[in-house]
Amino acid sequence: MNVAPTAIPDVLVIEPKVFGDSRGFFLESWNQRAFSAAGIRAVFVQDNHSRSERNVLRGLHYQLQQAQGKLVRVIAGEIYDVAVDIRRSSPTFGRWVGVALSAGNRRMMWVPPGFAHGFLVVSGAAEVLYKATDYYAPEHERTIAWNDLELAIAWPLAGPPVLSAKDAAGTRLRDAEVYP
């Protein structure tokens, strides 16, 4: 597999080795030994699967306690996946990185603990799978506004996003509870 840092070095894009022939393809989406050798020493405790329609924007989510690292991949369609560094002590605090993930490019993104995460569906629909390093804890979940002007995330919107009530009420980063 090929592992490449993004503009925020802790966020990684993983391109698995794909073995394909006339029957289809095979790839390893998780191999603890290989990922550990690449610097991802995560222990995953939960797998999540979501399906969303075009222009659905989910995020930017994080858990203040029980912080989750996430290994994100798409098995149908395409998303624009975003990670925002919300570790106040980090030199990249308040910066974001966005990556196109699709069933076609088979890339994955590693979003370590300490980041807010969200995605926008850019295809007709998309199915997203992600592994998490800690359990979902709704009492600790927080949401940063997807359209925070200070973050200025360049979402590739094709119209107004479809948001949950929770995501529509997100907090600006400057007012959010963040990691030390």
Residue 180 lies in a domain: no
Quick check: is 136 catalytic?
Answer: no
Q: What is the pLDDT of residue 122?
A: 98
| CATH code of residue 38 | 2.60.120.10
Rounded to two decimals, what is the model's pTM? 0.95
**C-alpha distances out from residue 68 to 16, 37, 72, 115, 166, Å:** 22, 21, 12, 9, 19
Average pLDDT, the chain: 97
Residue 14 lies in a domain: yes
pLDDT range class, residue 15, cuts 50, 70, 90: very high
pLDDT range class, residue 179, cuts 50, 70, 90: very high
Q: What is the pLDDT of residue 88?
A: 97
Residue 60 lies in a domain: yes
Cα–Cα distance measured from residue 129 to residue 50, given in angstroms and rounded to the nearest whole number: 7
Averaged pLDDT, 96-122: 98
Q: What is the pLDDT of residue 56?
A: 98
Residue 74 lies in a domain: yes
The model's pLDDT over 144-163, given as tens digits with 9 standing for 90+, comes to 999 999 999 999 999 999 99
pLDDT range class, residue 114, cuts 50, 70, 90: very high
Cα–Cα distance measured from residue 95 to residue 116, given in angstroms and rounded to the nearest whole number: 11
Quick check: is 61 catalytic?
Answer: yes
Averaged pLDDT, 13-42: 95
Catalytic residue among 61, 62, 80, 117: 61
Catalytic residue among 49, 117, 130, 136: 130
The number of distinct structural domains making up the chain is 1
Q: What is the pLDDT of residue 108?
A: 98
Residue 41 lies in a domain: yes
| Domain of 130, in residue numbers | 2-175
The model's pLDDT over 39-72, given as tens digits with 9 standing for 90+, comes to 999 999 999 999 999 999 999 999 999 999 999 9
**Measured CA angle at 176 (ends 42, 86), to 5 deg:** 35
